[in-house]
Amino acid sequence: MKRVYVNEEWCLGCHLCEYNCAFANSGLSDMALALKGKPIYPRIHVEEGEKISYAVSCRHCEDPLCVKSCISGALSRKDGVVRIDKDRCVGCFTCVLVCPYGALAPGETGAMLKCELCLQNAGGAPACVKGCPNRAIVFEDRGEAE
């Protein structure tokens, strides 16, 4: 199945993916209205090292520690996508404690947010990929199982 990958040599560290992600998941049709002057809650974040930068979002692990560790049954994996039911999440942070990639963080309500490949929102395809100005973020199939 297709997943989001990042070419760290091409990442400019511009953080546009974070804004595109937050906008795509806002449910609003105007980007300024959705993001301007507000704290944003992207499901992707740019990691910055000494000479590198790259964006990190959920890896949709085949054997996801977060799903196995979730104390409320909110996290599940279906058709290769790790999803979160925000109504079931109690904000215990156990998934934050176990995710090796740092790919989950709390949103405005305290429920955890994570990348669901934009399948659940109006985008239908990852907004971080579409909006990456240097095509550092790609959505492709590297041959792994569902």
Partner 1 sequence: MRKYVIIGNCIAAAGCVEGIRSADPEGSITIVSEENHPAYCRPLISYFLDGRASLERISYRAPDFYDKAGCAVLYGKRAVAIKPDEKTVELDDGTSLPYDALCVATGSSPFVPKMEGLENVKNKFSFMTLDDAVALDKAVTKDSRVLVVGAGMIGLKCAEGLLERAASVTVVDLADRVLSSVLDSECAALIRRRLEEHGMRFYLSDSAARFDADTAYLKSGAVVGFDALVLAVGIRPNVSLVKDAGGEVDRGIVVDDRQRASLPGVYAAGDCAQTFDVSGGVSKVLAILPNAYMQGHAAGVNMAGGDEVFDKGIVMNSIGFFGMHAMTAGCYEGEVYEEKTENSIKRLYTKDNVLKGFMLVGCDERAGIYTSMIRERTPLDSVNFDILKKTATTAAFSAEQRRKKFGGVV
- Nearest to partner 1 of 32, 40 (CB atom): 40
Q: Does 115 bind partner 1 (CB under 8 A)?
A: no
Residue labelled with tokens 């590297």: 142
DSSP character at residue 66: H
CA distance 64 to 95: 10
Q: Does 131 bind partner 1 (CB under 8 A)?
A: no
**Exactly one of 17, 26, 54, 82 binds partner 1 (CB under 8 A); which one?**
54
**Exactly one of 61, 77, 130, 138 binds partner 1 (CB under 8 A); which one?**
61
Q: Does 87 bind partner 1 (CB under 8 A)?
A: yes
- Nearest to partner 1 of 34, 138 (CB atom): 138
Element counts in the chain: helices (H) and strands (E): 5, 8
CB contact set of 97 (below 8 Å; sequence gap of 6+): 69
Q: Does 90 bind partner 1 (CB under 8 A)?
A: yes
Residues listed for the chain: 146
In the complex, the smallest distance separating the C-beta of residue 105 from partner 1, rounded to whole angstroms, is 7
